[in-house]
Amino acid sequence: MFESIMNLITFRSLREKLLRKRLLDSLESGTAEGFLTLLLNLMSLVLLLDKDYRQNTKDFQGKYLFKSRDNSIVVSTQFKNGNMTIAQKAINDPNIAVIFKDSKALMNFLLSPKPDILNSMLKQDITLDGNLNYLYKFAYMATHLRLMATNALT
């Protein structure tokens, strides 16, 4: 039993490192393809592994829908009872729906060195439907993740 748990932790840690590297590569190269899933998977893993980061989801319930304007990408995520689930499909009654022009726009929106929510809205690269505070919280978590990944947290 103990060995299985250790294996699981080791596996998750390795996977987290791998995802972190892929996310960094993606940010560095500007390759946006698949970055959303990458981000959400990394977020989900770090929530499991990092107790400080896990505090972000304590007592938090939120449903997020991300979809590209042409519907070629539809991803939803849900935070409930400290768990985070990810699905490659739409979700009913999201607290916030983020509709993006393309993956690049979404990447700039969520993970550029500057949190660019307002600017992306101004440029209409991103449109939002729902409670903006959920997005602000998510953007904080994403930024925090990026800073963790780049060892830039002070």
Partner 1 sequence: MGAIQLKDIRLQEYDLDNLQLLRELRKESMAAKPRVCIERARYITEYLKGASGDLSDDSKGTSNEPMEIRYARAVKYFLSHKEPLFFDNNKLAGTTTSHPFGAPVYPELTGLTIWPELDTISTREKNPLILEKSDAEKLNHSIFPYWMERNVLEYTRKKYHNPDCMKLFERIVFFIASKSGCISHTVPYYRKVLEKGIEYIIQEAAAREKEIRGSNNSSSKACSADESKRSIEFYQAVQIALEGILLYAARLSQKAAELAARESNPKLKENYRKMSEVCSQVPAKPARTFREAVNCIWIIQIAIHAENINMAMSPGRLDQILYPYYRRDIDEGRLTIKEAMELIGCLWLKLNDNTNLVPEVAEELFGGAGTVPAVTIGGVDENGEDAVNDLTYIMLKVTELLKTRDPSLNARYHYEKNSEMYRDRVAEVIVNTKSVPALHNDIVDIEVLRNQGVKIEHARDYAVIGCVELAAAGRSYDASSSIMLNLVSALELALYQGKRPITGDEQIGPVTGDPSKFQSFNEFMDAFQGQLKFLIEEAIELNEHFGHSHQEILPTPLLSAFFEGPMEKGQDLIFGGALYNSSGATHIGYADTVDSLNAIEQVVFIDKKCTFAELVKALQADFKDNDKLHAYLVQRTPKYGTDHPVAIKNSQALIQFLYDLYQSRVNYRGGKYKPAYWSMTNHAGHGRLSGALPNGRKANQVFASGITPASQAAGDLSTCLRAVGSLKSTCIPGGEALNLKYPSVTGEEDLKKFSQAVEAYFRFGGLHIQFNIMSYETLIDAKNNPGKYPELLVRVSGYSAYFKDLNEAMKEEIITRTAYDLRTGKAIPFPKAK
The binding site for partner 1 (CB under 8 A) comprises 55-56, 58-60, 114-119, 121-124, 128-134, 136-137, 139-140, 143-144, 147, 153-154
Closer residue to partner 1 in complex, CB, 26/56: 56
Smallest separation, CB 125 to partner 1 (Å): 11
Smallest separation, CB 106 to partner 1 (Å): 14
How far, in Å, CA of 76 to CA of 98, rounded? Answer: 10
Token pair, residue 9, equals 């932790």
Smallest separation, CB 97 to partner 1 (Å): 11
Closer residue to partner 1 in complex, CB, 6/147: 147
Closer residue to partner 1 in complex, CB, 11/140: 140
Contact 96, 109 (CB under 8 A): no
Smallest separation, CB 95 to partner 1 (Å): 9
What does 27-77 look like in DSSP terms, one character per residue? HHHT--TTHHHHHHHHHHHHHHH-HHHHGGGTT--EEEEEEETTSS-EEEE
Residue showing tokens 């990944």: 149
